[in-house]
Structure 1
Amino acid sequence: MTGPTPPTAASVRDDLIAEQDALDAVVGDLNDELWALDTPSPRWTIADQIGHLTYFDWTAALAITDPDRFTSLTAELMGAMTSGNEDAMDLATLGDYRAMTPPDLCHAWRTNRGVLSEAAASLADDDRVIWYGPSMGSKSFLTARLMEAWAHGQDIIDTLDTAGIAHADRPATDRLRHIAQLGFITHKWSYINRQMDAPTGPVRVELVAPSGESWVFGPDNAADSITGPAVDFCLVTTQRRHVDDTDLTVQGDIATDWMHIAQAFAGGATSGPSAGTFSNRSTS
């Protein structure tokens, strides 16, 4: 990556807090009726999106401060995941939060964000943190939390936009650099997660940041390339947009194939929206 100073655990933590605050500005004043709106995530309302963040911010803090307790909770959660019952997974992660009023849920989210922030302040750049799959380096771990806040926030933004509801602005910022890098380094993971052989050919990704900076990933001589707005690349790799509904220019079979299965987050293989779902939608 060219241009920006390499991130540290402390700088990613600061950007995570800023991203959470930006989403808080959107949802903090919504009325109860709006919290109940269905979002693009099947079965999930706006309240469920925040409940999801609340649960995993809490377990992320546990992963840093109490790995043994985190491991115990993980065994329970994996049992729900392998049951094949989607409701069981929602009950395990969202059950308590679905019983809350929106003000109480918002308070719980802010509380758990604070607990995570305090725990993250103890992380050194070379620390590793236990998680649901392999352990993660501290910077990648916090980047994943930032990505979650931004991506689930996008679901909320899209829901409010669809309903024609005026909401607080959440402009794209250069905090997307973390998500863009995560999207790039999970290229092979997107295939492995689908039990597919990852292609061996490289892809060059050249993105225009919200600030106008250029972010470049991959070798200069790669035959395949992806160019365009950083926000669009982040939307595709977090499965919030189909590549055809963005301004990305994709060249080469490897790059094209990747953009149709890209998945920057952990968990089972999933697919994003189909082409045309957001063809006329502005991005955050």
Structure 2
Amino acid sequence: MADPTIAVLDDLRDEGEELDRLVGELDPSEWARGTAAEGWSVAHQIAHLAWTDRAALLAMTDAEAFAVEVQKAAADPDGFVDDGAEEGVRLGPGELLSRWRDGRAQLDHVLRTAPPGARFPWYGPPMSTASMATGRLMETWAHGQDVWDALGRTREPTARLRHIVRIGVRARDFAFAVRGLAAPAEEFRVELAAPDGEEIWTYGPENAEQRVTGPALDFCLLVTQRVHRTDTAIEAVGPDADRWLDIAQAFAGPPGPGRAPKGA
């Protein structure tokens, strides 16, 4: 049986390489193109990924130094992410791309050589090796989506989405808690159509009264807040499941502003 940690590490590598192939051929003017994230260009998106890869690398190799970074984030929760992206943008496309590639390679090595059962500090709860890799894959995919959209390109969804779906489902209670809401007492049934058009990814009790169904791609776009709910084919049965789709998020930290409906 394949090691699930190795599988997510391979998928993280492939996700980064796919985005790298896209931005690696861009000219400087395209790096400056605005994305759906207010104030962020294509360069900001890549700079953010490079910045968070470096943060993950630091967390896994120097816990004390990473604790200092956590303190900086706590002191400026609204600005530290933007500041990190701006720092990368100032490097220029060539140097930024080189640093992102180097950071990905270093992080891949550290993830693959981490001791079994190791846990590492993060901005939220400590992370296992697999969880750290899955979080990096989710961020790479989500910020990559902003880049693909800004460039007017369409990418084919892959089975790598299963990792993002899993985070989104497991983060259900967090999405309620971060908004000061009580999480539903009962589990939901989640049934999502995989990108291959044949497999159905399922979570939760088969006989659950409240359910969420639809395409896995739409679910991933929703929980990473890359689309408004009304622009998806995700459906809910039950009031709590319906409420969840309004607030779902797969990422740590405070609630994001989300995206406006298309045409708004």
* TM bracket, shorter-chain basis: over 0.9
The answer to whether 1:90 aligns with 2:86 is no
CA–CA separation in structure 2 for the residues paired with 1:149 and 1:250: 27
1:176 aligned to which of 161, 164, 178: 161
1:122 aligned to which of 113, 116, 119: 113
TM superposition shift of 1:274: 2.5
The answer to whether 1:209 aligns with 2:194 is yes
CA contact (8 A) 1:26 1:170 kept: no
* One-letter amino acid of the structure 2 residue matched with residue 174 of structure 1: A
The answer to whether 1:222 aligns with 2:208 is yes
For 2:22, the equivalent position in structure 1 comes to: 26
CA contact (8 A) 2:44 2:86 kept: no
CA–CA separation in structure 2 for the residues paired with 1:13 and 1:107: 21
Identity %: 38
For 1:281, the equivalent position in structure 2 comes to: none
CA–CA separation in structure 1 for the residues paired with 2:207 and 2:59: 40
CA contact (8 A) 1:8 1:125 kept: no
TM (normalized to structure 1)?
A: 0.87
For 2:37, the equivalent position in structure 1 comes to: 41
Q: Which runs of 5+ in 1 are unaligned?
A: 162-166, 279-284
What SS does structure 1 have at the residue aligned with 2:151? helix
User: 5 Å matches for 1:63-212?
Assistant: 63-81=59-77, 84=78, 86=79, 89-91=81-83, 93-124=84-115, 126-161=117-152, 167=153, 170-211=155-196, 212=198
CA–CA separation in structure 1 for the residues paired with 2:114 and 2:250: 23
CA–CA separation in structure 2 for the residues paired with 1:172 and 1:182: 17
CA contact (8 A) 1:80 1:89 kept: no
RMSD: 1.8
* One-letter amino acid of the structure 2 residue matched with residue 270 of structure 1: G
TM (normalized to structure 2)?
A: 0.94
2:243 aligned to which of 257, 265, 268: 257
CA contact (8 A) 1:9 1:125 kept: no
CA–CA separation in structure 1 for the residues paired with 2:26 and 2:3: 34
CA–CA separation in structure 2 for the residues paired with 1:186 and 1:223: 20
1:271 aligned to which of 249, 257, 263: 257
Q: Which runs of 5+ in 2 are unaligned?
A: none
CA–CA separation in structure 1 for the residues paired with 2:206 and 2:170: 16
CA–CA separation in structure 2 for the residues paired with 1:253 and 1:223: 10
Q: How many residues are aligned here?
A: 263
What SS does structure 1 have at the residue aligned with 2:207? coil
- 1:15/1:125 CA distance change after superposition, 3 Å: farther
